[in-house]
Structure 1
């Protein structure tokens, strides 16, 4: 069995939002939908960078890319009444079955990582008159929950996620967390790191090098 995860080097991330745009294009995301957001570590939302600390001697600033954390113990899976949110047994990736989703949004309520999921209240609308990105990306539907898939349509073919492929600062790494020889495992063995909201017991598969 494989356990896919992502490692993000916060010292290399420059907040350029290329990963977010790569995700949006690759997956042909509807207008105003983002599966990958680049926040500032002092609370700034996407597009509104915020400096923390105290002026003038203790100012702090950094970027935190946030998407679905693909948890080992996902709260979303436990509450989905129809099995539309599930963990892939072969890869550990938390996935969504749009055809099963009944739009109850229980997964959104249970997930402690605010904003990593979106809900299509209306028929998905797009700025372009034609589909962008991969022909293998899942088709978007009305009244379903969506989120990052670790670009499952790419990784299932041995291709890295789009966000990692186009990262300008080379701050993203992706691979098998259970393989001690993988790049992600070696980085975690060599560098200090953290995970978001570890106290919630979800065991995220996204790690941040610090």
Structure 2
């Protein structure tokens, strides 16, 4: 276990990038990695050897709204890598927070990953809170989406970003629940805990942005 924790720390520092909120837990959200930002996340299970890594690039053109993601999963002894594309159709800021953020995308464009190619539509909406609730909860976002093939239809989720450097998310995706927690550490470094498929994952990530 100590060796795994050391490896997580080493990978996080070496990558020098932080993950962004383009996903709820595993399901896509209506938000994308910001233009000109580079993000990554590396997760290792507390039991077993199924590792997961993601590298996200926000294409550095503000009016394009395109995010590219490389995802590597190691379910057994072979690593499966997928290229995913995530495109922002409309953001909440564009409608002055009246309408949700809307994104479309293709998972595993080259059909080389563990799950296979799938298309999807994702929405995210920030819910207005009272001043008293914002003091304690921070920001509340609700998510929904629909995906083809391996994404197995619709999903829903929620994210709470607190004022205490902690964000938590929950979703129902691929007919299964999943949960995550994110804690801001020193500087750009963040720590993560995930729970899905009856397995707990721990990891680190950092962000580089213009």
What is the TM-score of this pair, normalised by structure 2?
0.25
Q: Which has the higher helix share?
A: 1
Higher relative contact order (CA 8 A, sep 6+): 1
What is the TM-score of this pair, normalised by structure 1?
0.25
Q: Which has the higher strand share?
A: 2
